[in-house]
Amino acid sequence: MRIAALADVLKVLLYVIASFLLAALISPTLFDLGKGFANLTSGKTTADQMAWLASKAEGASFTAYFKKALFISALICLIPLFCSLDLRRHARPRKGNPWTIGLPPQSTPPRMGQALRNSQWGIFQSLTGFCLSAGCSLALAWLVFALDWFQWQAPPSANTLWATTWSALKSALLLAIIIETIFRGALLGIFLRAFRPSIAIPLLSLTFASAYFLIPSHIVPINDPQAARAGFEILGQLYQKFLSREILIQSFIPLFIVGLILGMTRYRTSALWLPIGLHTGWIFSHQLFTRLTERRSDLPEHFRLYIGPELKDGLLSISLLLLIGLIVILYLQFLQFSKKTPAPEREE
């Protein structure tokens, strides 16, 4: 195990921490700028795009501004991270393959490091992963809806249902490509240079789950959004979620299992096609269900551990993810077996 490879892993962990701290620092300023822009354009004749942006800025909560600040901070901190890693030093030729990343040959131990490669069945693997994760998740959605645990926010029309589905699909595909390229593409490659796969994949999954877990999904109440400490106040409330056993079971464990499945598929296939398909299906089904339905407010308290406020939370979600993980393992075994099986000889 090389000291340089361990140092790269430490830099990745510091990158995640620095992104949240920078977001807490700049979110009050971003909040003031957004509200000031809304007040400046109020009552004035502006272009439709400016009026729409002003209305969004006016109605957004401090939590929404914190999420935007976190996205900006992650992009800002990404520059010094990749400069310090220096991934392109003595890199392998890319050969025009968009699914590979150049890793220094000297930092890749023979049995530990892994470069990404393309696959002629890549599109098929992505479609397979999408159908598996989206199909199983929507089956769970149908179950909780049939049990009357969730209800429609408003009865959707055919046009509304189609527009929501198309919007969720586009958003899910874009998010999955970005997240998988960063986490399973670049970061898992860095972790595999320092640790064995049995350590690298769970460690990155913990990092992935922690980062996702701390991103607020609901409005977090803040005493004074314009105070300089407001960002750190919301950050403190987010970190308190780690102290709640119920929230850890509902939200953190499913995210950790998702990270394990995606990391395993990336390592076993040496590609991002299958992880992107799986992740797209999860995000798509979650966004579609969240935009159209809501959990019943009169749901008994003892049911809340089985299904959380969102489809991806709770023991039912954990059971579904374990089932999907088992199916993925069997699918990967089938792919490995089909590669080893020699083609039958033709009779002359």
State the Cα–Cα distance between residues 220 and 234, nearest whole angstrom: 7
- The whole-number pLDDT of residue 18 equals 93
Residue ranges per structural domain of the chain: 3-340
The pLDDT tens digits of the residues spanning 202-256 come to 999 999 999 988 888 788 888 888 888 999 999 898 888 888 888 888 889 999 9
- The whole-number pLDDT of residue 142 equals 92
- The whole-number pLDDT of residue 257 equals 96
Tokens of 323: 């089932």
Convert 297-311 to b/e letters by CB count within 10 Å (16 or more is b): eebeeeebebbbebb
- The whole-number pLDDT of residue 299 equals 81
Task: Tell me the pairing of strands 293-295 and 150-152.
Answer: antiparallel
The pLDDT tens digits of the residues spanning 1-21 come to 467 778 888 888 999 999 999
Mind listing the pLDDT tens digit of every residue in the chain (348 residues)?
A: 467 778 888 888 999 999 999 999 999 999 998 888 888 776 665 556 677 777 888 888 889 899 999 989 988 998 888 788 755 444 444 344 343 344 344 434 434 467 777 777 789 999 999 999 999 999 999 998 888 888 888 888 888 889 999 999 999 999 999 999 989 988 898 888 888 888 999 999 999 999 988 888 788 888 888 888 999 999 898 888 888 888 888 889 999 999 999 999 999 998 899 999 999 999 999 999 988 888 888 888 778 788 888 888 889 999 999 999 999 999 998 877 776 655 444 444
